[in-house]
C-alpha cells in the first residue's frame, strides 16, 4: 500500500489504478471520474481500454506493450468514460513500480468537468463577438496565456441528419476543449474556433474526428492554433484579432490557423504603419467635384484620402476596426482646411469624409472646432460626409455632436445612403443637411424601374425633411439625365471629373443648362 500511495503522490494524480497483465483494472484508489459520483473502485474488473475514448485506445495499447520498470511512456491525453452519457478529459501516466511488477500502475489526472457527447441539438456556440469577448477576458486576466484554435472540418457542411448530429457532437467536443467549457465558436458551417489555454495538450483534431466517426462519418479534420500570449496591450490585440478573424472567415477554404496567424501579424504591423502615417501626415488628398445637376456648376469638392497610389478603402476599414480612424479623419480635415486657406481658393468648399466611428467621442468634433477657432467663417465652407462603414454606436451622442457642428456652420451629409441597414435610422435620428445616395443605385438606374422608384421616393422624403440629395458614381450622360429627372439635386462621378490633386473646376459639364463661371450657393 505504501508504495502505491507513493506512486499516487509522485504522479499527483486524482486516481491511481493498478492493472493486471491484460490491462484489466485490479485495484482503484482515489476519486472517480465524476466529481460527486462513485469512486474509482467501480472500475475494478474492467479493461482500461474500455474506459477511454477511441482516440486514446491505441496510445494506451502501445504504452502498455512498451512498459518496463523505470521506463515511463509519455503521458496519454484521453477522454475517460464517466457513465454511459458522459466523458471527462484526463491525462493518464503509466508506470511500473519495481516491487509490484508485472502489475502496471496508471495515474489519472482529470482536466475540466465531465461533459456529454450525446447532444441531440447543436449546443449554442458563440459567434465572432462572443469569441472576442472571451479572448479579451482571458487576456485581461493576470498571466492569461490563451490561444485561439481553428478547426476545419471541410466535409461537415452537409444538411442531412447524420451530418447535423455529427456537427452537434463536434460542437460538444470543442466546447469541452475550450478554456471554460463554453468558449467555442462556429465561424462557418465547416469552420470552428475556440479559446483554449495555450499549453493545453488535448488533441483536438483526433477528438473531432472521433466525434464525427461516432455518427458513421469519416471526415478530414484540420486543427491549428495561434497563441496570443504576450501580445499586449489587450484592446488593440482584440481589435486586430477581430480584423484578422473576419479576413480569415472571408478567405474561406484556406488553412485556417496559418492564414489567421499571418493575418494577425500583418494586421498588427499595418496598424503601426497607419499610426506613423497619421502622425507624419504622410498621405495626400484628392478632390473630386460635386456639381449642381440643373446647371452643371461645381458646387463643392469631396476630399478623398490617398496613400501613395493605393485607394483608401482597405486602410480606412483597418483604421476603423483598430480604433485609429478618429485621428486620421481629423488629420484629413486639417489638410483640407490648409487647402481652403490657400490663396485663390477663397470660394472653394470641401467635403471631408468622417467615419461614423469618429463620432463616437467628442475628440473629432472638438478637434475640428479647435482647428477652425481662429477664423470660424471657414466652417461655412466645410461639409462632413458621415460614412456608414463603421456603424455609429451611440446614435444619440453622435446626433448631439453633429448638432454642435451644424450650429458652428459645418454642413452634414449622410454618405453612401441606402446600402447599410442603418440608413433609415440615420436619416431619422442624425441631423443632416444632405443625403448622398450610394453609387450602387447608379449602376442600374437606366434599366431598373425599382432603383428609379426607390430614388424618386428618397428624393421626396429628403425634400420633406428639407434635405438636399447628391448622387455619386455618375459615369454616363444617361445616368446623369435619369437621376436629374428623378429630382436629385447634385451629382458626382467620372462624368463630371475624376479625383484630382487640386480642387479646380474644369469646364462645367452640364446635364441640362450650361452656365459657366458661376459658383452655386449651398442652398
Ligand atoms: P465615398 O466617400 O463614397 O467616396 C466615393 C468613392 O467613389 C471614391 O472612392 C471615389 O474615388 C469613387 N468614385 C468617384 N466617382 C466615381 C465614378 O464615377 N465611378 C466609380 N466607379 N467610382 C467613383 P475612393 O477614393 O476609393 O474612396 C473609397 C471610400 O473610402 C470613400 O467612399 C470613403 O468612404 C472612404 N474614404 C475616403 N477618404 C476618407 C477619409 O478621409 N476618411 C474616411 N473616414 N473615409 C474616407
Ligand atoms: Mg464620401
Ligand atoms: Mg459612397
| Alpha-carbon gap, residue 270 to 274, rounded angstroms | 6
The DSSP bridge partners found for residue 307 are 310
- E strand intervals along 114-207: 115-116, 146-152, 184-188, 191-197
> Among 123, 118, 208, 212, which Cα is nearest to 162's?
212
Residue with cell 455529427: 166
Residue 412 contacts residue 378 (beta carbons within 8 Å): no
For 95, residues 6+ apart whose C-beta sits below 8 A from its C-beta are 7, 11, 67, 72, 104, 105, 107
418 alpha carbon, closest ligand? 3
Kindly state the cell numbers that stand for 338: 490648409
Do the two domains 2-116 and 128-271 of this chain adopt the same fold?
no
Q: Is residue 290 within 6 Å of ligand 1 at its C-beta?
A: no
Shortest-distance atom of ligand 1 to CA 352:
41
313 alpha carbon, closest ligand? 1
The DSSP bridge partners found for residue 315 are none
Beta strand 146-152 pairing with 222-227: antiparallel
| Alpha-carbon gap, residue 29 to 439, rounded angstroms | 73
**CATH class (in words) of the domain with range 281-492:** alpha beta
| Alpha-carbon gap, residue 315 to 274, rounded angstroms | 8
Centre of ligand 3 to C-alpha 436, Å, is 7
Shortest-distance atom of ligand 1 to CA 355:
44
For 12, residues 6+ apart whose C-beta sits below 8 A from its C-beta are 107, 109
CA-nearest residue for atom 20, ligand 1, is: 473
Produce one character per residue of 325-339: b if its CB has 16 or more CB atoms within 10 Å, e if not: bbbbbbbbbebbbeb
> Among 328, 325, 433, 299, which Cα is nearest to 388's?
325
| Alpha-carbon gap, residue 109 to 12, rounded angstroms | 8
> Consecutive 10-residue runs of the chain (523 residues): their mean pLDDT?
55 79 86 73 88 82 86 81 75 83 86 60 64 72 74 84 88 84 79 82 89 91 75 65 69 57 73 87 96 96 90 85 87 97 95 92 95 96 85 85 97 86 76 93 86 89 93 96 96 96 75 48 57
CATH 3.30.450.20 fits 2-116, yes or no: yes
Global pTM? 0.62
What is the secondary structure of 200-222 as a DSSP string?
Answer: ----HHHHHHHHHHTTT-----E
| Alpha-carbon gap, residue 509 to 502, rounded angstroms | 18
Shortest-distance atom of ligand 1 to CA 354:
44
3-state SS, one letter per residue, for 20-38: CCCCEEEEEEECCCCCCCC
Q: Is residue 353 within 6 Å of ligand 1 at its C-beta?
A: yes
Strand ranges across the sheet with 222-227: 184-188, 191-197, 146-152, 222-227
Shortest-distance atom of ligand 1 to CA 494:
18
Residue in 277, 281, 290, 312 to alter for ligand 1 test, most ligand atoms within 8 A of Cβ: 312
CA-nearest residue for atom 34, ligand 1, is: 387
Centre of ligand 1 to C-alpha 281, Å, is 19
For 253, residues 6+ apart whose C-beta sits below 8 A from its C-beta are 154
Per-residue pLDDT at 434 = 96
Boundaries of every domain in the chain:
2-116, 128-271, 281-492
Per-residue pLDDT at 429 = 86
Residue 203 contacts residue 150 (beta carbons within 8 Å): no
Residues with CB under 5 A from ligand 3 (ion): 416
Produce one character per residue of 138-162: b if its CB has 16 or more CB atoms within 10 Å, e if not: bbeeeebebbbbbbbbeebeeeeee
Per-residue pLDDT at 516 = 42
3-state SS, one letter per residue, for 442-492: HHCCCCCHHHHHHHHHHHHHHHHCCCEEEECCCCCHHHHHHHHHCCCCEEE
Q: Is residue 203 within 6 Å of ligand 1 at its C-beta?
A: no
| Alpha-carbon gap, residue 432 to 123, rounded angstroms | 45
Shortest-distance atom of ligand 1 to CA 358:
44
Q: At what angle do helices 54-66 and 204-213 cross, to 10 degrees?
A: 120
CATH 3.30.70.270 fits 128-271, yes or no: yes
Centre of ligand 1 to C-alpha 202, Å, is 48
Amino acid at each position: 500500500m505504501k508504495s502505491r500511495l507513493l506512486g499516487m503522490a509522485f504522479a499527483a494524480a486524482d486516481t491511481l489504478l493498478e492493472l493486471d497483465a491484460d490491462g484489466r483494472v485490479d485495484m482503484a484508489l482515489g476519486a472517480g471520474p465524476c466529481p460527486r459520483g462513485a469512486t474509482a473502485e467501480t472500475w475494478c474488473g474492467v479493461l482500461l481500454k474500455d474506459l477511454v475514448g477511441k482516440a486514446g485506445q491505441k496510445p494506451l495499447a502501445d504504452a502498455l506493450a512498451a512498459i518496463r520498470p523505470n521506463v515511463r511512456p509519455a503521458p496519454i491525453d484521453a477522454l475517460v468514460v464517466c457513465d454511459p452519457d458522459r466523458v471527462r478529459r484526463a491525462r493518464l501516466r503509466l508506470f511500473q513500480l519495481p516491487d509490484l511488477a508485472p502489475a502496471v500502475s496508471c495515474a489519472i489526472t482529470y482536466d475540466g468537468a465531465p461533459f456529454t457527447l450525446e447532444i441531440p441539438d447543436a449546443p449554442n456556440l458563440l459567434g465572432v463577438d462572443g469569441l472576442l469577448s472571451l479572448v479579451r477576458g482571458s487576456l485581461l486576466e493576470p498571466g492569461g496565456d490563451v490561444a485561439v484554435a481553428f478547426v476545419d472540418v471541410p466535409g461537415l457542411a452537409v444538411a442531412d441528419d447524420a451530418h447535423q448530429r455529427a456537427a452537434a457532437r463536434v460542437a460538444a467536443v470543442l466546447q469541452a476543449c475550450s478554456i471554460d467549457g463554453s468558449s467555442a465558436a462556429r465561424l462557418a458551417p465547416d469552420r470552428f474556433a475556440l479559446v483554449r489555454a495555450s499549453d493545453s495538450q488535448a488533441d483536438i483534431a483526433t477528438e473531432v474526428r472521433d466525434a464525427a466517426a461516432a455518427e458513421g462519418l469519416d471526415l478530414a479534420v484540420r486543427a491549428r492554433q495561434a497563441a496570443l500570449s504576450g501580445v499586449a496591450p489587450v484592446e488593440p490585440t482584440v481589435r486586430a484579432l477581430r480584423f484578422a478573424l473576419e479576413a480569415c472567415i472571408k478567405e474561406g477554404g484556406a488553412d485556417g490557423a496559418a492564414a489567421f496567424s499571418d493575418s494577425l501579424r500583418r494586421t498588427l504591423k499595418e496598424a503601426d504603419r497607419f499610426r506613423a502615417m497619421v502622425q507624419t501626415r504622410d498621405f495626400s488628398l484628392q478632390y473630386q467635384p460635386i456639381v449642381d445637376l440643373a446647371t452643371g456648376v461645381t458646387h463643392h469638392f469631396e476630399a478623398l484620402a490617398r496613400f501613395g497610389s493605393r485607394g483608401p478603402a482597405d486602410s480606412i476599414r483597418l483604421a476603423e476596426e483598430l480604433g485609429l480612424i478618429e485621428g486620421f479623419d481629423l488629420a484629413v480635415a486639417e489638410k483640407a482646411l490648409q487647402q481652403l486657406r490657400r490663396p485663390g481658393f477663397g470660394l472653394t468648399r470641401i467635403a471631408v469624409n468622417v467615419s461614423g466611428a469618429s463620432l463616437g467621442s467628442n475628440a473629432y468634433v472638438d478637434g475640428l472646432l479647435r482647428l477652425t477657432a481662429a477664423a470660424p467663417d471657414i466652417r461655412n465652407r466645410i461639409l462632413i460626409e458621415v460614412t456608414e462603414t463603421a456603424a455609429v454606436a451611440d446614435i444619440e451622442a453622435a446626433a448631439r455632436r453633429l448638432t454642435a457642428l451644424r450650429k458652428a456652420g459645418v454642413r452634414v451629409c449622410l454618405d453612401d445612403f441606402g446600402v447599410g441597414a442603418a440608413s433609415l435610422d440615420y436619416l431619422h435620428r442624425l441631423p443632416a443637411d444632405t443625403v448622398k445616395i450610394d453609387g450602387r443605385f447608379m449602376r442600374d438606374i437606366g434599366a431598373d424601374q425599382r432603383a428609379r422608384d426607390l430614388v424618386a421616393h428618397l428624393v421626396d422624403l429628403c425634400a420633406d425633411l428639407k434635405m438636399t440629395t447628391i448622387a455619386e458614381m455618375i459615369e454616363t450622360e444617361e445616368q446623369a439625365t435619369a437621376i436629374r429627372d428623378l429630382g436629385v439635386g447634385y451629382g458626382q462621378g467620372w462624368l463630371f471629373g475624376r479625383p484630382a490633386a487640386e480642387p479646380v473646376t474644369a469646364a462645367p459639364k452640364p446635364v441640362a443648362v450650361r452656365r459657366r463661371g458661376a459658383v452655386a450657393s449651398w442652398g
